[in-house]
A and B are shown apart, each in its own frame.
Chain A
Amino acid sequence: MALQYTEQQREYIHLAQEFGDKYLKPELISKWDKAGECPKEAFNPAFDLGLHMLEIPKEYGGAGLSFEDSALVFEKLAEYDAGYALTLITSFVALRCVMISGTPDQARRFADILKPGKFAAFTLSEADSGSDSGSLRDTAVRKGNEYILNGEKAFATNGGVADVYIGVFRTSNNGNHGLSAFMIPRDTPGIYVGKHEDKMGLRLSNTVPLFFKDVHVPVENLIGKEGKGINIALNSLNLSRAFVSTLTVGIMQRALDEAGNYAVKREQFGQPIANFESVQNMLADMATSVETARLLVNNTMKMMDKGSLVRKEGAMTKLFVTDVAQKVTSDAVQIFGGYGYTRIYPVEKLMRDVKGFQILEGTNEIQRMTIAREVAKEYAKE
């Protein structure tokens, strides 16, 4: 392995593996994948281990791991199921956002909700406004000491399981600068959860539309300042896309493990298919992709631990890692041949799951735009 782990990291990864072996058994994952949802109780052991607040500092009740160490833990969990891991990550990324952009009081209130074992969700996209956040329509109107929220949010990860949301709403008609972020407890009257989306992959992760009908939120729940919603959303994306990349590495590693184990056992023409050059080439490329992807993610996480915004680096990481992962998982199916195309083996699921990561947390097209913009800035004349 190219990445040199510290002793502490080995122990964290091993604990994640023990957790996966014990609670994320293949037959359960397959059952939940088919059903298209993961029962809420299945997360109780994860709460006990502190996985839902892994990266959150101890004073907020978290485990206090660095981004780098947390990423290694979630990479391992993604080998079992990326949708399950994503559910946990989404929660602490939301909390981290409140910690970055909100007041200490808001962060503490948010953390206190999650701590006993609850989820959070970040909701931005609308049916007609995905990558183009400037076109968001859902509104927040201030009335006295309250904001009144109205509108419909689409594709809210964790929307159906969360107890608290961060929602981005329009407070003025000023494009991206007219957006504001709010902390919204789920039990506020006027919030309705729509039908869980029947997704291609990441089927253990909950994705729903959310309906807000005259939802009253106290002004203390405005995160940051009015009009700063887009910055908070971008902060959230910076974090979540880094973690999405780490989950992708986990999926790739699993694909490589499955394909490698199969290729040395499966015999055709009187020898293991791993002896054939065409299969060797695929395995070599897969293994190389996994290593480079892991190093890239690791470096981004290290930068985040040092407080860097990783606007460009995070985008590059997500773009590269989720793009190469399509080939890695597709080749895993190819190595399995006809069996790989069936649900007897887990590789088809890896291919379905990993497709989602080219799309969510900013499509890879948007990542390219971000990278291009940052690169152009670097070469722009003063």
Chain B
Amino acid sequence: MKIATIVKSELTDPKTYTTHRTKVFYHPEKLFLSDSDKAAVELAVKIAGNNGQVDLFTLEQGEVGVRVLHEALAMGAASATEFVGSDPNDPANAYLAAEKVSEYLKDQGYDLILVGDVVGSAPIAAYLAENLGFNLYENVTRLSPNWEYETELDRGQLKGKVQTPAVLTVEANAIEPELPSFPALEAAQKQTIKSVALNLDTEEASEVVVNQTQHPHVIWNLDEEPDAVEKLVAALRQDGIMK
């Protein structure tokens, strides 16, 4: 079985973005491989076994791209490729990036494409499945050896059987990944990473800006202001918290 896994980072430290007035500072050194991508890589390596192969891809750029590929390579994947020229967190042009990625993956004979379900990233799985004509299974929290899957919904699960070729998005709890060893990480750092330019034909891009919705902090005293509750309701309506 030939498996592609598309990995990315995950924001776990709120200080990845800091702000000063209206300026935003980005600290990519705080970003590492996401938990759900670790689950995806672990699943991929397990499914591939001794006869299969797991190839890694990322849409992350620069140091973050290299880092997540190193981390994922150390878990047992065979090769690593970075797609250069897009932003994996930007939903505005994810469909264009997915189109290029699909073109690249199309004739390579993959049976399975695994993608971690990372909060805050731009979803690409559905586009890949559509472009490649693969089946799509999302929010997968379990995948048994006989291909029974569970898709997580808010109050329940969908259960069924995966038909390959397929694109799966994997949740962090789908499998408990083992930590890679230091020798494996050291070897991964020496592995060559292939670069593929996406050449996106777009000027559409989202921007990261300071959140202007500031939380008010207003406390009334009911003894001093008998109409405090009216004032509260008025303020909530004003802020759109209550409409």
Chain A residues near B (Cβ < 8 Å): 5, 7-8, 10-12, 14-15, 18-19, 22, 45, 48-51, 54, 58, 62-65, 73
Contacts and interface: CB of A to CB of B under 8 A. Distances in A.
Determine chain B's interface SS by DSSP, over half rule: helix
Interface in B169-191: 178-183, 185-186, 189
Nearest to A16: B182
A15 B188 CA distance: 13
Contact of B182 (A5, A10, A12): A12
Contact of A65 (B66, B70, B182): B182
A15 B67 contact: no
A50 B189 contact: no
B63 to A, nearest CB: 6
Given A10-B67, A11-B70, A50 B182 contact: yes
Contacts, number: 48
A50 B66 contact: no
A15 B180 contact: yes
Contacts of A65: 182, 186
Nearest to B180: A15
B95 to A, nearest CB: 31
A14 B32 contact: yes
Majority SS of interface residues in chain A?
helix
Q: A-B pairs with the 8 shortest C-beta distances?
A: A63-B182, A63-B183, A50-B182, A50-B181, A49-B181, A50-B183, A8-B189, A14-B32
Nearest to A7: B63
Contact of A11 (B71, B181, B183): B71
Contacts of B201: none
Contacts of A62: 183
A62 B181 CA distance: 11
A15 B185 contact: yes
A11 B179 contact: no
B219 to A, nearest CB: 14
B29 A64 contact: no
A58 B70 CA distance: 19
B29 A11 contact: no
A48 B74 CA distance: 13
Contacts of A15: 71, 179-180, 182, 185
B233 to A, nearest CB: 30
B181 A12 contact: no
Most buried by A among B32, B178, B183: B183
Given A15-B180, A19-B179, A49-B181, A63 B186 contact: yes
B214 to A, nearest CB: 20
B58 to A, nearest CB: 15
Query: Which of A5, A10, A19, A45 has most B Cβ within 10 Å?
Result: A10
B67 A7 contact: yes
Nearest to B38: A18
20 contacts: A5-B29, A7-B66, A7-B67, A10-B67, A11-B185, A11-B189, A12-B182, A15-B179, A15-B180, A18-B179, A22-B179, A48-B178, A48-B179, A49-B181, A49-B182, A58-B183, A62-B183, A63-B181, A63-B183, A64-B183
Interface size class of B (residues with CB under 8 A): 10 to 19
A7 B31 CA distance: 12
B13 to A, nearest CB: 11
Contact of A12 (B29, B178, B185): B185
Contacts of A58: 183
Nearest to B190: A8
Nearest to A19: B179
A48 B183 contact: no
B69 to A, nearest CB: 11
A305 to B, nearest CB: 15
Contacts of A63: 181-183, 186
Nearest to A45: B179
Contacts of B66: 7
Residue with the greatest number of chain A CB neighbours at <10 A, chosen from B181, B182, B186: B182
A15 to B, nearest CB: 6
B239 to A, nearest CB: 27
Nearest to A48: B181
Contacts of B71: 11, 14-15
A8 B67 CA distance: 9
Interface in B99-152: none
Contacts of A18: 179
Contact of A73 (B70, B179, B182, B183): B182
Contacts of A73: 182
Contact of B179 (A7, A8, A49): A49
Nearest to B70: A11
B123 to A, nearest CB: 26
Contact of A51 (B32, B182, B189): B182
Contacts of A11: 67, 70-71, 185, 189
Interface in B187-212: 189
A35 to B, nearest CB: 25
A146 to B, nearest CB: 37
A196 B150 CA distance: 51
A54 B185 CA distance: 12
Q: Which of A50, A51, A62 counts the most chain B CB atoms within 10 A?
A: A50
A108 to B, nearest CB: 18
Contacts of A19: 179
Nearest to B71: A11
